[in-house]
Structure 1
């Protein structure tokens, strides 16, 4: 079994129309479109660039070590899939253009192809790229293909049971207790990167027996995986405007998210996401970190970095609510 990395670019969209769709279901589609979650809209992706897996890793290794651009592209071998949209254009374009002089001829060709795709996004922000790690099975060798298929199936089973290193994305060695940490946020938006930073710290040095999922800005994409895990506890961490001092941490009642008009930067309201998971999760805890600055390409503030460190240190011996206070909902007259 060989592996490759595939860059697919949005070519067109269309609405999956069905005259027999019940009116209630249509309302769900309309609501989802209104909040940016494109339920009922089919994205057609065109395969624009394919490179073998190991050469891909050598290619992105030419980017500046420790840079945001390199960390973004390393998401493919780490998580299996990344999305590149208008928020990443400037970051990646500068990084790959700067790396060209140190690249091989083949790597320079790939960089130019990627730069062309980034330029298309710059001209039409609705376009995005889906970059995926793909397992290519050798259909000409039946015994090899069978073994490869079994290996892929085992990898999927390991994700569901939380035993694979890649599925855990950081914390814990086994799925004992089935505690899941879902980190939410956008690394390109200043303090909104609190969740991904926590996931990164867990990956560098695990704390406790947690299966860690970096949900990014679209945590709803991980709902199926979390449901399959059926964890005893789900801890969701996100930067949330609670009207507190920057860096303060609180446990939030999901019902308060809508009532207090709490602001997040993600596709789907988190209370809706939590409602989807309640039946399959023993306990759901929403931990909010008060941001200071949420703006494109702003650095994370020291107060929020310190808050992330506090949450990270609490994971190893987590009990109950981890020692964090509940957010007091304001009383309305």
Structure 2
């Protein structure tokens, strides 16, 4: 099974990127071995609960802040994830990198598809993606389809 997990909170601007990618993928007929999950702001908790022996690959989709151009997509392998407790890709304050690295050591292929944010108004509520990140949704969908088909 392939899990595609969208992380993020639609109330906080570009943080809704993962949700928008999952929503777009739901409109496409995907292979039966692909499961889509809108994990919201609880990506790490979902992963810890649903990963079992049938999972071969996990693709995490989330907003990131790596100082790139807004809307730029960055594909990360587990080897590229930081080895610190708190970092820019964190599935919303839950240390996710160590868990993903453990899964990779167990033979599960892990990729992170991150999109550089422009508008992240936390703690102010301001739903909706910036134009740059909105355009990146289609790019991310294309990358995911290439990964799973």
TM-score range, shorter chain: 0.7 to 0.9
Dislocated runs of 4+, deviation >4 Å: none
Query: How far off its partner does 1:281 sit?
Result: 5.0
2:114 aligned counterpart, secondary structure:
strand
Per the alignment, residue 179 of structure 1 pairs with: 2
1:201 matches 2:24:
yes
Q: Take 1:197 and 1:179, find their aligned partners in 2: how far apart are those partners?
A: 19
Per the alignment, residue 239 of structure 1 pairs with: 63
1:191 matches 2:14:
yes
Structure 2-normalised TM-score? 0.80
Per the alignment, residue 273 of structure 1 pairs with: 99
Q: Take 1:219 and 1:302, find their aligned partners in 2: how far apart are those partners?
A: 25
Give per-residue Cα distances to partners, 1:204-259, cap 9 Å, x unaligned: 33345521111111112223443225321111111110110011111224453346
Per the alignment, residue 257 of structure 1 pairs with: 82
2:11 aligned counterpart, secondary structure:
coil
Give per-residue Cα distances to partners, 1:246-279, cap 9 Å, x unaligned: 1111122445334694254613022133135335
Per the alignment, residue 310 of structure 1 pairs with: 139
2:92 aligned counterpart, secondary structure:
coil
What are structure 2's unaligned runs of at least 5 residues?
none
The structure richer in helix per residue is 1
Between 237-246 and 272-281, the greater mean CA deviation after superposition = 272-281
Structure 1-normalised TM-score? 0.39
Q: Which of 259, 267, 291 is residue 117 of structure 2 equivalent to?
A: 291
Query: Is contact 1:234-1:281 (8 Å) kept?
Result: no
Query: Is contact 2:104-2:110 (8 Å) kept?
Result: yes
What is the root-mean-square deviation of aligned Cα atoms in Å?
2.6
2:66 aligned counterpart, secondary structure:
coil
Q: How many pairs does the alignment contain?
A: 143
What are structure 1's unaligned runs of at least 5 residues?
1-177, 323-333
